[in-house]
Amino acid sequence: MGNTMRHLVFVEKGRLEWREAPTPTLQGDDEAIVRPLAAARCDLDTAILFGRAPIPGPFAIGHEFVGEILEVGNAVRGFRPGDRVVVPFQISCGECGYCKRGFTGNCENVPPGAMYGLGASRGDWGGAMADAVRVPFASNMLVRIPDGISLDAIASVSDNVVDGWRTVAPHLHDLPGADVLVVAGGAWSVGLYAVAVALASGASKVDYLDTDRARLDLAEKLGARAIDGPPPKRVGRYAVTVDASSEPTGLACALCSTKPEGICTSVGIYFSETTPVPLNEMFYSGITFKTGRAHSRAGIEPVLKLISSGKLRPELITTRLAAWDDAPEAMFDVSPKVIVTRTA
């Protein structure tokens, strides 16, 4: 590879461009250079591209990807050039107190929010839709891809699949056979991944609320009961609820639909300074509410195990599989999940 490479840059709402950039090089002994082979459009990317997220360009876009190791530093353990790996979207050392507890999204040894694909505001680590990406802390960050799994099927495991998994799988482990509600509409694919993981994890019932017909149909194909319409105050009562709406009405619906002592997890990003929540009802129900980013590195291995078992098939949620060179156009597809792959 030469001194320059090509990467995909978000310029402004509605505009992506391939541009030249310096090829990344190793800057430490425990680093690796990875060539992305399949990359997915994250739900946050969708919001950025369509102007729903107040994040200005230009910056190299993309943070969900799998690839092949091109080069490793002298101190990298367990990996070598040619290995195919999942790269977590967040930068994490794997050794600090937070990382050891599984909170890899809050690593103490990198600036807050450090991640790929959001430019200087998150550390300027470059984007996933590039000819090469530098991975620090490679011995701890990288995850080897099990044999028999196609790369395009797991391109979103870096973030959105794990995001959906963490909303339901740990709770269904503690509450076997619990019923699940997903209030969708904002995080287009995460809500659907939550449906798929809930069913793969033994939920007795999964209801999916949305206003988009295509996503409702897909949820039904996965095995959920689709509920068409805007969020009411309450759908019913569920032990496990998920807010993937990114709207205050959807958040309130998920919270009010949570059974006493149940748990509600929000994957929605609320960009306003304040967001109303029904605290009085939550108080009398005694529910647990969780929000925040997924801890990507900590969730990748259990997700890959579920995929290897055949119980979880993320490829069923992929709505467009496009060639790498077509990414600037494909990324604006209005369907839930876009994945781009290389042929060479």
- pLDDT tens over the chain, length 344 residues: 789 999 999 999 999 999 999 999 999 999 999 999 999 999 999 999 999 999 999 999 999 999 999 999 999 999 999 999 999 999 999 999 999 999 999 999 999 999 999 988 888 999 999 999 999 999 999 999 999 999 999 999 999 999 999 999 999 999 999 999 999 999 999 999 999 999 999 999 999 999 999 999 999 999 999 999 999 999 999 999 999 999 999 999 999 999 999 999 999 999 888 999 999 999 999 999 999 999 999 999 999 999 999 999 999 999 999 999 999 999 999 999 999 999 76
User: Does residue 170 contact residue 178 with C-beta atoms inside 8 Å?
Assistant: no
Residue 76 in tokens: 């990298």
Distance, CA of 133 to chain centre: 18
The region that residue 78 occupies, defined by phi over 0 for left and psi between -120 and 50 for alpha, beta otherwise, is left
Distance CA 107, CA 90 (A): 9
Query: How long is the chain?
Result: 344
- Among residues 156, 183, 177, 165, the alpha carbon closest in space to that of 257 is found at 183
Structural contact between residues 157 and 35, judged by C-beta atoms closer than 8 angstroms? no
Beta carbons within 10 angstroms of residue 113's beta carbon: 14
Query: Within 13 Å of residue 338, how many CA atoms lie on the same side as its CB?
Result: 23
Domains and CATH numbers, the chain: 4-158+294-341 (3.90.180.10), 160-291 (3.40.50.720)
Residue 58, preceding peptide bond in cis (omega within 30° of 0): yes
Strand partners, 182: 208, 242
Phi, psi (degrees; rounded to nearest 5) at 260: -50, 135
Distant-in-sequence, close-in-space partners of 19: CB < 8 Å, separation ≥ 6? 6, 7, 8, 9
pLDDT value for 344: 61
Please state whether the predicted TM-score (pTM) of the whole model is above 0.85.
Answer: yes
Residue ranges of alpha helices (H) inside the chain are 43-49, 97-100, 138-141, 160-174, 190-200, 213-222, 248-256, 279-285, 296-308, 327-330
Q: Are 276 and 248 in contact (CB under 8 A)?
A: yes
